[in-house]
Amino acid sequence: MTSTTTSPPAPLRVAMIGHAFMGAAHSHAWRSAHRFFDLPLLPVMQVVVGRDAGRAGHAAEQFGWAESATDWRAVVERDDVDLVDICTPGNTHRDIALAALAAGKHVLCEKPLANSVAEAEEMTAAAEAARAQGTYAMCGFTYRRVPALSLARELVAEGRLGTIRQVRAQYLQDWLSDADAPLTWRMDKSLAGSGSLGDIGAHVIDATQWITGQSITGVSALLETFVTSRPVAGQASGLGGAGDASGERGPVDVDDAAWFTARFEGGAVGSFEATRFALGRKNAIRIEINGTDGSLAFDFEDMNVLNFFDGTQPSRVQGFTRIYVTEPDHPYTGAWWPPGHGLGYEHGFTHQVVDLVRAIGADEQPTPSFADALAVQRVLDAVERSAGDRSTWTGV
Amino acid sequence: MTSTTTSPPAPLRVAMIGHAFMGAAHSHAWRSAHRFFDLPLLPVMQVVVGRDAGRAGHAAEQFGWAESATDWRAVVERDDVDLVDICTPGNTHRDIALAALAAGKHVLCEKPLANSVAEAEEMTAAAEAARAQGTYAMCGFTYRRVPALSLARELVAEGRLGTIRQVRAQYLQDWLSDADAPLTWRMDKSLAGSGSLGDIGAHVIDATQWITGQSITGVSALLETFVTSRPVAGQASGLGGAGDASGERGPVDVDDAAWFTARFEGGAVGSFEATRFALGRKNAIRIEINGTDGSLAFDFEDMNVLNFFDGTQPSRVQGFTRIYVTEPDHPYTGAWWPPGHGLGYEHGFTHQVVDLVRAIGADEQPTPSFADALAVQRVLDAVERSAGDRSTWTGV
Amino acid sequence: MTSTTTSPPAPLRVAMIGHAFMGAAHSHAWRSAHRFFDLPLLPVMQVVVGRDAGRAGHAAEQFGWAESATDWRAVVERDDVDLVDICTPGNTHRDIALAALAAGKHVLCEKPLANSVAEAEEMTAAAEAARAQGTYAMCGFTYRRVPALSLARELVAEGRLGTIRQVRAQYLQDWLSDADAPLTWRMDKSLAGSGSLGDIGAHVIDATQWITGQSITGVSALLETFVTSRPVAGQASGLGGAGDASGERGPVDVDDAAWFTARFEGGAVGSFEATRFALGRKNAIRIEINGTDGSLAFDFEDMNVLNFFDGTQPSRVQGFTRIYVTEPDHPYTGAWWPPGHGLGYEHGFTHQVVDLVRAIGADEQPTPSFADALAVQRVLDAVERSAGDRSTWTGV
Amino acid sequence: MTSTTTSPPAPLRVAMIGHAFMGAAHSHAWRSAHRFFDLPLLPVMQVVVGRDAGRAGHAAEQFGWAESATDWRAVVERDDVDLVDICTPGNTHRDIALAALAAGKHVLCEKPLANSVAEAEEMTAAAEAARAQGTYAMCGFTYRRVPALSLARELVAEGRLGTIRQVRAQYLQDWLSDADAPLTWRMDKSLAGSGSLGDIGAHVIDATQWITGQSITGVSALLETFVTSRPVAGQASGLGGAGDASGERGPVDVDDAAWFTARFEGGAVGSFEATRFALGRKNAIRIEINGTDGSLAFDFEDMNVLNFFDGTQPSRVQGFTRIYVTEPDHPYTGAWWPPGHGLGYEHGFTHQVVDLVRAIGADEQPTPSFADALAVQRVLDAVERSAGDRSTWTGV
């Protein structure tokens, strides 16, 4: 937490588009990152944008943005904005990102990158063009920044697992388990692109490709919508809530759950599941990786822990070691509290800001790039194609 | 542990064919069942059969069989044998079972029932014919008799989970993770029928169909052989061991791991995995079931526990309840020790003997019947067909 | 996260004395509380005070205080300060608190309240006098604000545990396990008052008295110093660090670990342990409570979870329910993220600010009051007296 | 499971006195040990003794003893008995053991060894005299033979923990939590000697002294009887049951729970608890040991697991390793099933028979000897004296 900087860092002026769940998390990160980490640029929370002036104004006040606005097209052109942070539903990502990059602004875009491969390709091309101008784009797969998963990647990269053979990834939630939970934008394909697949499945696709350092080359998939219509009106609570079961119902046109097997380029085989119907599992991101020399197991419901099986130890003392990832030499954690004082969900967002600002300060490409996010999008697309073709094996 | 019987029960004279791993487990069960449970018939360990006279004799002495023999065909005809217990590799099940049933002997046959659907059908037909004569056949899916899984079935049957939506089943082992572990019969398709699929995948297919009370109707599958040749010579240890890496290698022609998604007749969707390559997992049979009203989670590596999520509780105190399945009113456990004094692997075999002997004593069909085992065999077959056809969805 | 307030809340101008570990945590809380919770007063981070001007200035910049100062006596008199937040070692608490209260400032004082019962009594008397003037004092036992422990108290208060019979409390750390970890103020009795006892034992004394609603009336205790001298120079890391083993050593005159049994006024019996030598345990605050109708179990190393055994359930489904305390109807959590998105260590501090500001806004006494903290101090004192008298039972 | 023995082993003819809970467990062990382990002598279950001829006869039949008898004095003199296995309440241990040893019989005596130090001393003297004649006595602290605890001792003995500093031992049950559970011999001081202290506290005293290799030298203790009278009549279930709450109540004159701190001869400090009132804990034997280089943690409710923290590993991968103690190179487990196929409660008794018979076969003293058990008895006595003297520190 010490700094030897003599002159204050230059500002990095941020405009955030959207101020719902992700907006709250991103705001906290922009407020907090430089309080715990040395950053080469000082984030300035310049303006928050929302469609409704009143609510945007309230968001500015609540989250700590200097001002609010309603027209994102005008904001991304402003001279006093250096970076555009896109926290809106997926159907708007392409337009905002392209405009921001064209205006020479760095971009942080929530995941999934877009609602189609075509959009993602266009965005990636724009990002690569912008990069040549020193303008950077990044996609918000924040779970990479959970310290335990960052450590997972390090251990794989160091060869502690040997050759990766199996990947097991599940993202289990239950907020749609109630058949009368209300219909929201997350169940509307035109807005969200897909259901559990793109919302949460995308996270474990990105995480496993990143941790293993291997791309998925083909899939066999199944999608299911358990509840095909839901109350139009209702009261939100968390991501779900209580719908008005007596009133009108609208159609759900996205998947409630998705499953697929996958082959990775290095020879590993993976099985994936994303669901909003695993009653009792709230945000269980479970990732297990088995190699020839070691294995890893993680569950976000115990997010400060990484379980590591070191197959090179004598069999008498082998076992999964519950690494409590809060030591000074673990990723990110040295900047926070003493060992054993765990972190929470929002810290991933703060770490995302740290890595993004450091990359911009160093004039380097932050990761995951739009190209990385496009790779995820292509897997999502292959999953949908396979599921639409009787689960037949489908190349990515 | 009390009995009101005045006259001693009639004997049930058992011949066991095969005396390796399963033979040891079955012998312990035949020795122990009547010591803890009231049985209508008294098991008598009449004869054990093995191909090698010396080893069979030693097995008799060690395991407590009155005598040994080498010719199973002769033994199954003996007048002083009432029940034939088949503990041999899958390629021999058909012949022994058919002969035993034809000779009017009850049969307990290890799983998988056979190495093909055709064999299993033949055996099932024979079993049904024999049943009309009061001769019963049962297949040894012993995990049904783990108290926690028996309780799981009870809770589902009582409606505590509501409508079942998702099934998640994994059987994870790692004894082939070493690429130089020796080649044994379990890796030879002509003897074992298949690899992880039939050996351990069959267990979770049976368990999930039994617990949910629903049959699997279709699958999409993937099979993989990670290590395609192994040392012919080596030293067994557990199921695996250390092969002679410097010597000759033979081909592995079965799957090392299997994955499939499945639809159940009642609308549930399941994902399955069976592997011998999940380094660090020794016998992790993980079964999770999500319904509209409740969920269950089990892991054999903590075999005395069933986790139950009761979705009808107030959300403030909801959570997975770690039921330590050792209470007097839990399945089987009242016959053993006081609460909290857990059971081990072999108890499932003892309970299997209990249920089998009680069914025979009551002149009722024991479960799982050969027909139940045939249903599993058909799923195994559909899995292999789908895996051979680019994972395309395949009816059972 | 919504507000119906039309006029902005009045400011609550804060001066924080001390800016080390606790200062960082308190600053984060002052920055964050109003971003997630509606508060009747708006915290303003007016000034941070430290002995060294340079370091205090740096702390102001890093933590977000408007200015810094070095003379706490002057600061607590300032007209533009409404509340004094004391984050210094225990030997200074009395003087600062008395001066602040005398100047009519609200006070938040870190725990333990003081280094002696006499000091704590004096502070409590001052707090009670101030309270009559509408000036409030509170002590920082933040673990009360971990949502899982807040829920624990609610369940006890609602009678879900019946009559409390047993309390089991351990606070296990290991940062002094290395005999060459450096000597710091926490091992100096003149500054810290005591060792593990007052530093961490105080937390579980307060937590258990608060959760059970019962005071401790007597104790039998043992204190131990395993390592009686340590390197004077060294490099801090977390709470411990690496001492210069080749250089001078100074004496440790506080306890490394403390144990005591206790009787609560309601008839419960408790056993307590506080240690900095439980190698492998980083911040394991374990609290278990057994009543006639239910039990609770908590471990801070899995801080978002409260395990609840409901003895009124049928024995067949009894067990410890792992309540993942992140639901909208759990204490504090509705203001943060959707269910399953867990919180971290610092959230307790944010909740402390919320409760304090709300109490001040409502002109009510915040808890824990200085009187509550004095009750803890008296237990600490009884523990030291018993330990000094051959563990003989000693009244509080 | 192989044997190279050519001639069959000589018989070891056993007489078992008492046939309740412990009798069932011992019988299973005598039946099973030679089925899984090579033994130098072949146990022969000669005769079981009980006060009631009918029940003893039934026990013989159920448990597999060749005959039954009612007069233990006659039985211990019989020529066809080589070993006397004492499974009766503590008040009878002295007389039976002395008579058996005097008759030249080996003795296995359930714990606690006796109901007083004086009795235990007398028994130990007799055992040491007998030993000179090649007659051996052993006390039944079976938890030593749980593989995970045997491994714990090995790791300590190998120095993997360095110097032991702290011991934390709890034995938690809840079968008396119901205030109307019936009065049984276990609550009668004249029969049982003490309550939770001798019944279950004795186990953790023995286990921790054995694992650490250190004797307890002094204690400070507290005993509590939460429920001072109970229904005389009732129906047993497990260890507890349902008493007739409407009928006569009798006094409980033993402790319901016991707590003590202890110093070990090597400098370690321990805290102990034994209780029958920890609602929700059925047989939770928790042992934690912290050394300078490593730590161990065990809980019998997950009995196949030993958690080992290796402090010599790099901090980045440090953590408690969940050793699943079922490998071929773990204590005892190689004789049973493949890795991952866990053991249960009764296996400790089987291992006890194995170790006893092997020691007798090798003409060596089995452990724990009566002297070892006397050491436990002296700790029990010191605990009672301290508890009776206001918890004042009391030497053992």
Q: Indicate the length of chain A as a whole number.
A: 396
Rg (Cα) of chain B, in Å, rounded?
Answer: 21
- Contact between chains at D342 and B301 (C-beta distance less than 8 A): yes
At residue C201 the predicted structure's pLDDT band, cuts being 50, 70 and 90, is very high
- Contact between chains at A341 and C281 (C-beta distance less than 8 A): no
Judge whether C276 and C173 are in contact, CB under 8 Å. yes
What residues does each domain of chain B span? 10-142, 147-360+367-395
Q: What are phi and psi of A267, to 5 degrees?
A: 105, -10
Q: How far is CA A316 from the centre of its chain?
A: 39
Residues 6+ apart with CB under 8 A from A328: A334, A339, C237, C238, D315
At residue D6 the predicted structure's pLDDT band, cuts being 50, 70 and 90, is low
**Residue A86, token pair as written in the block:** 């896109």
Q: Provide residues of B within 8 Å CB-CB of chain C.
A: 151, 155, 307-308, 310, 315-324, 327-330
Determine the angle formed by the axes of helices D370-387 and D202-212, rounding to 10 degrees.
120
Q: Write down the pLDDT at residue C234.
A: 79
Across B323-350, average pLDDT: 96
- Contact between chains at D280 and C290 (C-beta distance less than 8 A): yes
CA distance D294 to chain C (A): 7
**Amino acid type, D96:** I
Q: Rounded distance, CA D383 to CA B224, Å? A: 62
Q: With 70 as the cut, is the pLDDT of residue A353 above it?
A: yes
Q: Write down the pLDDT at residue D205.
A: 98
Q: Rounded distance, CA C322 to CA C307, Å? A: 5
Q: Write down the pLDDT at residue B2.
A: 43
Location of structure tokens 């001829």: D53
For residue D260, count CB atoms less than 10 angstroms from its CB and return exposed for 0-12, middle for 13-18, buried for 19 or more. Answer: buried
**Residue C70, token pair as written in the block:** 């070095």
Judged by phi (left if over 0) then psi (alpha if -120 to 50, else beta), residue D193 lies in left
Q: Which of C279, C293, C308 to mutate to test the interface with D (most CBs of D within 10 A)?
A: C279
Contacts of A320 in chain D (CB under 8 A): 321-322
Judged by phi (left if over 0) then psi (alpha if -120 to 50, else beta), residue B104 lies in left
Q: With 90 as the cut, is the pLDDT of residue C3 above it?
A: no
Q: Write down the pLDDT at residue A6.
A: 58
- HSE, CB side, 13 Å, CA atoms: give it for residue C215: 13
Give the model confidence (pLDDT) of A109-158 as tens digits: 999 999 999 999 999 999 999 999 999 999 999 999 999 999 999 999 99
Give the model confidence (pLDDT) of B19-44 as tens digits: 999 999 999 999 999 999 999 999 99
Location of structure tokens 């080359």: A217
Q: What are phi and psi of A198, to 5 degrees?
A: -80, -30
Q: Write down the pLDDT at residue C6.
A: 58
CA distance C76 to chain A (A): 25
At residue A3 the predicted structure's pLDDT band, cuts being 50, 70 and 90, is very low
- Contact between chains at A290 and B309 (C-beta distance less than 8 A): no
**Residue A160, token pair as written in the block:** 């502690």
At residue A8 the predicted structure's pLDDT band, cuts being 50, 70 and 90, is confident
Mean pLDDT of chain C: 95
Q: Which of D319, D322, D327 has its CB closest to that of A315?
A: D327
Q: Provide residues of A within 8 Å CB-CB of chain B.
A: 165-166, 168, 170, 174, 177, 179, 220, 222, 224, 226, 257, 259, 261, 269, 271, 273, 275, 277-281, 288, 290-295, 309, 311, 318-320, 386, 390-393
Across C150-163, average pLDDT: 98
Q: Write down the pLDDT at residue B6.
A: 58
Cβ neighbours around A81 below 10 Å, total: 21
- Contact between chains at A327 and D315 (C-beta distance less than 8 A): yes
CATH of domain B10-142: 3.40.50.720
Q: Write down the pLDDT at residue D2.
A: 43
Q: Rounded distance, CA C170 to CA C286, Å? A: 5
Contacts of A197 in chain B (CB under 8 A): none
- HSE, CB side, 13 Å, CA atoms: give it for residue B68: 19
Cβ neighbours around C297 below 10 Å, total: 21
Q: Which of A156, A165, A323 to mutate to test the interface with B (most CBs of B within 10 A)?
A: A165
Contacts of B173 in chain D (CB under 8 A): 340
Contacts of B284 in chain D (CB under 8 A): 340
Residue of A nearest to D319 (CA): A323
Residue of D nearest to A155 (CA): D317
Contacts of A318 in chain B (CB under 8 A): 280
**Whole-number percent of chain A with pLDDT over 70:** 98
Q: Rounded distance, CA C343 to CA C333, Å? A: 8
Q: Write down the pLDDT at residue B5.
A: 47
Give the model confidence (pLDDT) of D274-286 as tens digits: 999 999 999 999 9
CA distance C32 to chain A (A): 8
Contacts of D222 in chain C (CB under 8 A): 220, 261, 269
**Whole-number percent of chain D with pLDDT over 90:** 93
Contacts of A275 in chain B (CB under 8 A): 166, 290
Q: Write down the pLDDT at residue C2.
A: 43
Q: Is B175 helix (H, G, I), strand (E, B) or coil?
A: coil
Cα–Cα distances (Å) from C258 to C196, C226, C240, D296, in that order, read 7, 11, 18, 20
In CATH terms, the superfamily for domain A146-395 is Dihydrodipicolinate Reductase; domain 2 (3.30.360.10)
Residue of D nearest to C392 (CA): D392
Q: Write down the pLDDT at residue B125.
A: 98
Give the model confidence (pLDDT) of B356-370 as tens digits: 999 999 999 999 999
- Contact between chains at B62 and D1 (C-beta distance less than 8 A): yes
Go through D335-355 and write b for each residue having 16 or more CB atoms within 10 A of its CB, e for each that does not. Answer: bbbbbbbbbbbbbbbbbbbbb
Q: Is D108 helix (H, G, I), strand (E, B) or coil?
A: strand
Closest CA to B379 of B166, B225, B209, B231: B209
Across C300-305, average pLDDT: 97
Q: Write down the pLDDT at residue A1.
A: 39
Q: Check: CATH 3.30.360.10 for D146-360+368-395? A: yes
Q: With 90 as the cut, is the pLDDT of residue D242 above it?
A: no
Second CATH level (architecture) for the domain C148-344+369-395: 2-Layer Sandwich (3.30)
Contacts of D324 in chain A (CB under 8 A): 319
Q: Rounded distance, CA D111 to CA D386, Å? A: 22
Window from A52-66, C67-81, C158-172, D178-192 with minimum mean pLDDT: D178-192
- Contact between chains at B277 and A226 (C-beta distance less than 8 A): no
Give the model confidence (pLDDT) of B76-96 as tens digits: 999 999 999 999 999 999 999
Q: Write down the pLDDT at residue B168.
A: 98
**Amino acid type, D349:** F
- Contact between chains at A315 and D329 (C-beta distance less than 8 A): yes
Q: Write down the pLDDT at residue B4.
A: 47
Which residues make beta-bridge pairs with B285? B171
Contacts of B323 in chain C (CB under 8 A): 316-319
- Contact between chains at C337 and A346 (C-beta distance less than 8 A): yes
Contacts of D282 in chain B (CB under 8 A): 324, 326, 338-341
Q: Rounded distance, CA C45 to CA B80, Å? A: 92
**Whole-number percent of chain C with pLDDT over 70:** 98
Residue of D nearest to B8 (CA): D61
Instruction: Kindly list the partner chains of chain A, i.e. chains with 3 or more CB atom pairs below 8 Å.
Output: B, C, D
Judge whether C390 and D389 are in contact, CB under 8 Å. no
Q: Which of D3, D63, D345 has its CB closest to that of B341?
A: D345
Q: Rounded distance, CA D323 to CA D331, Å? A: 13
Instruction: Kindly list the partner chains of chain C, i.e. chains with 3 or more CB atom pairs below 8 Å.
Output: A, B, D
Closest CA to A207 of A156, A169, A157, A242: A169
Go through B88-122 and write b for each residue having 16 or more CB atoms within 10 A of its CB, e for each that does not. Answer: bbbbbbbbbbbbbbebebbbbbbbbbbbbbebbbb
Judge whether C282 and D294 are in contact, CB under 8 Å. no
At residue B151 the predicted structure's pLDDT band, cuts being 50, 70 and 90, is very high
Q: Write down the pLDDT at residue B129.
A: 97
Q: Which of B21, B173, B339 has its CB closest to that of D238?
A: B339
Q: Is A248 helix (H, G, I), strand (E, B) or coil?
A: coil
Window from A203-212, B168-177, C180-189 with minimum mean pLDDT: C180-189
Residues 6+ apart with CB under 8 A from A221: A258, A259, A260, A261, A382, A383, A384, A386, A387, A391, A394
Residues 6+ apart with CB under 8 A from C320: B321, B322, C295, C297, C307, C308, C309, D280
For residue B314, count CB atoms less than 10 angstroms from its CB and return exposed for 0-12, middle for 13-18, buried for 19 or more. Answer: exposed
Across D23-38, average pLDDT: 97
Give the model confidence (pLDDT) of A223-251 as tens digits: 999 999 999 987 777 777 888 888 899 99
CATH of domain B147-360+367-395: 3.30.360.10
At residue D243 the predicted structure's pLDDT band, cuts being 50, 70 and 90, is confident
Across B123-133, average pLDDT: 97
Q: Which of D165, D275, D290 has its CB closest to that of C166?
A: D275
For residue D361, count CB atoms less than 10 angstroms from its CB and return exposed for 0-12, middle for 13-18, buried for 19 or more. Answer: middle
At residue D158 the predicted structure's pLDDT band, cuts being 50, 70 and 90, is very high
- Contact between chains at D327 and A320 (C-beta distance less than 8 A): no
- Contact between chains at D290 and C278 (C-beta distance less than 8 A): yes
Instruction: Kindly list the partner chains of chain D, i.e. chains with 3 or more CB atom pairs below 8 Å.
Output: A, B, C
Q: Rounded distance, CA A281 to CA B289, Å? A: 11
**Amino acid type, A349:** F
Q: What are phi and psi of C41, to 5 degrees?
A: -130, 150
